[in-house]
Structure 1
Amino acid sequence: MSEAAAPNSARLAVLLPFAAVTLIWGSTWIVITGQLGTVPPTWSVTYRFLIAGIAMLAWAAITRQPLRLDTRGVGFAVLMGLFQFVLNFNFVYRAEGHVTSGLVAVVFALLLVPNAILARIFLGQRLGRQLIVGSLIAMAGVALLFLHEIRRDPAASGEVYLGIGLTMLGVLSASIANVMQAGETAKAYPMATMLGWAMLLGAAMDGAFAWITTGPPVLDTRPSYIAGVLYLGILGSAVSFPLYFSVLRKIGPAKAAYSSVIIPVLAMLLSTLFEGYRWSWLAAGGALLAGAGLVLALRARRPNR
């Protein structure tokens, strides 16, 4: 298999936003746990993307991007909102009600698998040998992290399997949205405008579902909850998603999904600082393998079609 010239993924224009997104999303898992309890999960998701959507459209207006979408654009925004900002996040928030945030983050690292498969089917993007080897090394690391998290949870029962199942549904939903963002339809519209409307339409769907299933809006007025919603809405969404999708368009869904491989490692590091998380040899070995796989994969060149 012949290989093309130097990979875009090894350039600073990709590495810097990739690192920023990974750092921010590595912190959101802990913040999400603070959103559970008084407020039903779907209402928390609604508030998050209402704030994010307003912030995105405000940025579009400040940068003088057109705010209107045509009929095709609205349809695309509805689908993007459904898969990325409704199904994905509702599954993840509910999963954290059944298992630890660390386990959810580890399972979400599997995003690179459906991303690679769907990108091959719908975008015709092939995987080079170096990317495949990097993926296998990273997945070995994910397997060790998964085993470590399962051993940490003494109640390996139906609750655990339900949490894992919900996370897997979130992974599939996110992967569909990832591949949509790499397609030609998404590239035909300004990113801030498209994401802003997708977030607001997603928030509307979230709110409708929340009202039907749990009743009128519920708000936790504690400063920690409000700060968490703002952090997740602005940094965790309005800042991170444009950065992530811009990287995804440059290097493809398979490589972009490697952020999800490193995120659980960062989540564990933050948990060590703030929650007294204790590492094991399994977790340390998994983190090292995940990092090695990431470096190898991001240095891989894109194969010729």
Structure 2
Amino acid sequence: MPKENHSLSVEFVLTGFSDHPELKTLLFVVFFAIYLITMVGNLGLVALIYVERQLHTPMYIFLCNLALMDSCCSCAITPKMLENLFSKDKMISFYECMAQFYFLCLAETAECFLLAAMAYDRYVAICSPLHYHTRMSKTLCIQMTIGAYIAGNVHPIIEESFLLRLTFCGSHQINHFFCDVLPLYRLSCVDPYVNELVVLIVAGSILVLTITVVLISYFRILFTIFTMKSKEGRGKALSTCASHFLSVSIFYGSLLFMYTRPSSFKEGDKDVPVAIFYTIVIPLLNPFIYTLRNKEVINAIKRIVKKRKFCST
């Protein structure tokens, strides 16, 4: 093998949306608008939860960190994608590639554990309301959040350490708009079987663990809700879980479709629409899912608006 393949000096070409050059201006405007809305929505939600003391509860602490991870995901992917829409060479170095995948993997992994923690929080709140403050203390909330970030950092380190065993001696063209491990495996001159096995074991374990927590929590929640005698109580309980369940369904559905298909390691172009959905669309939707149906968040926004009006007068 040539020496440069082992020196991390290799560069890749992100083809992105090169099949539709006539649409690059439209795509830039659309994705730039989505990026701005995503960042304003998520960081605005973080600021709102930080400022409003009434929102300093476990559920909103998890939601605050979820919004941070959505911002991280968007920052890792969208700026480089926007740059490549008008770039002639569309080059990305191996170091940039590793950094992009690291922050994306960190965000997605931490989000898996945060969604599981939020499901457990809703389970305790609905199934054991009298013991909520003892079973779901702020200390446990902080520990679960720290655990999500630790897992989020460990996962990409494992993936990237195995990625270093690969060499790229042929085509350096990645048929994707960002550096994901699956497109890189297709370019490797070394058999990526070990890497694929690591992805299945590590990423698969994370998905199985967190999905199991979510499913068990929601089965218990639904059982408790349907045994309630009060229609008003059932409606209130369902409304508190609806936004989270919708977010969980969209997030895990796209990840499972992306990484667990039998042909996911071989196909290239078919990954792009799904990848757009879970890296760009979901971070855009989450702030709206969690705010438009959440009375506490809406009331907090109204209080801030009233305070500003009062101060201005």
Same fold (TM over 0.5): no
TM-score of the superposed pair, with normalisation by structure 1: 0.31
TM-score of the superposed pair, with normalisation by structure 2: 0.31
